Amino acid sequence: MKRRILLQAASCIALPGIAFAQDKYPSKPITFVCPYSAGGNADQRSRQIGKFLSVALGQPVIVDDKPGAGGNIGTDFIAKAKPDGYVIGMGNFAPLAVNPTMFKKMSYDAAKDITPICLIEKGPLVLMVPANSPFNSVKDIIAAAKASPGKLSFASGGLGGSHHLSAELFKSLAGLNITHIPYKGGAPATTDLLGGQVDMMFEQMYSAAPNLRAGKTRGLAISSKTRSPLFPDIPTMAEAGVAGFEVQNWQGLIGPANMPPAIVKLLNETTVKALADPMIRELMLSQGNEIGGGTPAQFAALIKSEAARWGKLVKSANIKPD
């Protein structure tokens, strides 16, 4: 009897420790890493989703911008974090699908070191020219580029981003020689486009819209398979004569590899709820974006297919970082 009482007492003492070790996630603040600079679309979306997660999960979600190396620095930080759900972040087109082929050395393996959690959004790009450009259609650009190879130029916000890869795909499918002028970000690239220093640019819809509406630029084609409800008069690249052209910039929630399935499930379900929030939906749709969602497996499949597609183009075009 005495031995039984001692065992029961020992069990009672051990229980609080067991309960503490199995605290329900999350029990402390979560860090949400954005691999791009403050103020950009990735940063803004990180804060919107982070705010929803914070309210839904009952813990602070702190957005930490870690820009640099085309998104590699912030993505590497996520990949190397402890896989307990307390460091998550935004996974983007370039660091997950383009950079692994473009950079000779990578500090993380996008296929092995990342847990895809939920696709947040896809966004088309618009092929733009200045309002006073002589080009009124994609066919005009193709004709001029073939008449004078290398003379025309296109701007981008940097090597390997969706601006750049869209133009490289255009060149590849149409058989063109157009000179790439890379900038350190989309804003300075757009400035030179408006000033006539470059002939054209593929710009993300949310950023292109103000100049299109103001008549400062002319949209010749959109990169998605279907026309945008924001600018229904702008044809798709396929409609404009470039068959097989489709580009969507995308981003979604990711974490380090080997996260507990229950935490991944909770974060996925909460993010899907965030994407159904009327305010978040309205903002994303007003920017011309396609709302994401779906399962972690579906997001993983998208990353895998995009990495194969863009890796092939990076190799064939011999695109290398500065």
Interval 35-69: pLDDT, tens: 998 888 899 999 999 999 999 999 999 999 999 88
pTM: 0.88
- Identify the structural domains of the chain with CATH numbers, from first to last: 28-122+249-316 (3.40.190.150), 125-222 (3.40.190.10)
Q: What is the mean pLDDT of residues 63-87?
A: 96
User: Cα–Cα distance between 219 and 314 in angstroms, integer?
Assistant: 26
Q: Which residue has the higher pLDDT, 159 or 314?
A: 314
Q: Are 59 and 23 in contact (CB under 8 A)?
A: no
Q: Calculate mean pLDDT across residues 287-316.
A: 96
Q: How confident is the model at residue 18 (pLDDT cuts 50, 70, 90)?
A: very low
Q: Is the pLDDT of residue 301 over 50?
A: yes
β-strand pairing of 200-204 with 153-156:
parallel
What pLDDT is recorded for position 185?
80
Mean pLDDT within 181-200: 91
- The better pLDDT of the pair 284, 21 is held by 284
Mean predicted confidence (pLDDT) in 200-213: 94
Q: 150, 143 in Cβ contact below 8 A? A: no
- Angle among Cα 310, 154, 246 to the nearest 5 degrees reads 35
Asked whether the predicted pLDDT for residue 221 surpasses 80, the reply is yes
Confidence of residue 322 (pLDDT cuts 50, 70, 90): low
* Percent of the chain whose pLDDT exceeds 90: 84
SS (H, E, C) the chain: CHHHHHHHHHHHHHHHHHHHHCCCCCCCCEEEEECCCCCCHHHHHHHHHHHHHHHHHCCCEEEEECCCHHHHHHHHHHHCCCCCCCEEEEEEHHHHHHHHHHCCCCCCCCCCCEEEEEEEEEECEEEEEECCCCCCCHHHHHHHHHHCCCCCEEEECCCCCHHHHHHHHHHHHHCCCCEEEECCCHHHHHHHHHCCCCCEEEEEHHHHHHHHHCCCEEEEEECCCCCCCCCCCCCECCCCCCCCCCCCEEEEEEEECCCCHHHHHHHHHHHHHHHCCHHHHHHHHHCCCEEEECCHHHHHHHHHHHHHHHHHHHHHCCCCCC
Q: What is the pLDDT of residue 187?
A: 83
Closest of 123, 122, 118 to residue 255, by C-alpha:
118
Please state the rounded mean pLDDT for residues 2-7. 41
Give dist(CA 199, CA 178) in Å, integer.
10
Predicted pLDDT of residue 9: 40
For residue 122, what pLDDT band results from cuts at 50, 70 and 90?
very high
